[in-house]
Amino acid sequence: MAEKLLLIDTDCGVDDAQAIMMALAQPTVQVLGITCCHGNTTVDNVSRNVLRVLKICNESKIPVYRGATSSLLAENVGFSDFHGPDGLGGVPDPEAPGLDLIQKEHAVTAIIQIASQHAGKISLVATGPLTNLALAVKMDPAFPQRLKDLYIMGGNTETRGNSSVCGEFNFSVDPEAAYIVLNEYSCPTYIATWEYTCEHKLSWEFYEDWVTQDTAKAKFMKKIFAHSVKFAQRKVENEELVCENGFVSCDSFAMAAAVDNSIVKEYIECGVSVELSGKLCRGMMIMDYLDLLQKKHKAFVMKTCDIEKFKALLRAALK
């Protein structure tokens, strides 16, 4: 059996695809299942996208489960233009697998069952809105205790927003779900925030070398990421985007930590929560530096990264 057992919950856009491919390329990692959630695109598109990624990686045997179609309050935040109309750059494959390959079981049920079957051994990696995870803990409050740990890409530490004034996309899409997960999951929780990913951006020269490897995976990545590259490099009214000067694969940072925890060199151990009210701050992650919330369960918020190890994992993903 592989050294690390992963369960991935995703709203598969292009950086989710990069993260999934990173995990699949590691010989010490076994992905037991992938659960799909609304977010970057509709949950049906997400499901199709995951199947496409598994096909290009020759891993179609991994079960894929369809999950939540909207946030807990069914608020319409809107899909991210960054990932294109279908979540994978708007370059559909006529030979892509169909939804008939999706498991009949609901994603939330699958999350609970897989964690129960491998109690204490599963690392759950969440790269999208946390709706499925919130529903899982409400169905089975003891379920998080059976996880080895939880890795999240989401939230922010410095009130920088990327989808609202103060909110990171994954948390802003379903703030209530993020609040539930950060307050009700008792397993060790590691968070790759928006600022963390931006502070460790890579050069576009690295990106070009990465996607021009002579492999089917690299050609696939170059095709699906072309729309996002144009989006990331644009300028808005003389104001540069936060990540314009580099390539950022947000979800891959959470996955890299799950695959090899030595990649994160420094954490902030802190109580965290999510703001649920207010016009400007709804969905913002709260860092309780003063411990006023007196939370027994502290999160490990990623601060510094071994960038060379991270690059090596990205390279391996497309070989």
User: What six digits make up the tokens of 293?
Assistant: 């919330």
Q: Is 11 one of the catalytic residues?
A: yes
Cα 4 from chain centroid? 18
C-alpha 131/C-alpha 140 separation (Å) is 14
* The residue to which tokens 């169909």 are assigned: 98
- DSSP E strands, the chain: 4-10, 29-36, 64-66, 122-126, 149-153, 189-192, 235-236, 239-240, 264-274, 285-288, 299-305
Give CA torsion, residues 170, 246, 316, 2, to 10 deg.
-30
Contact yes or no for 274/174 (Cβ under 8 A): no
Q: Which position among 9, 11, 15, 260 bears the catalytic label?
A: 11
C-alpha 122/C-alpha 41 separation (Å) is 27
Active site (catalytic) residues: 11
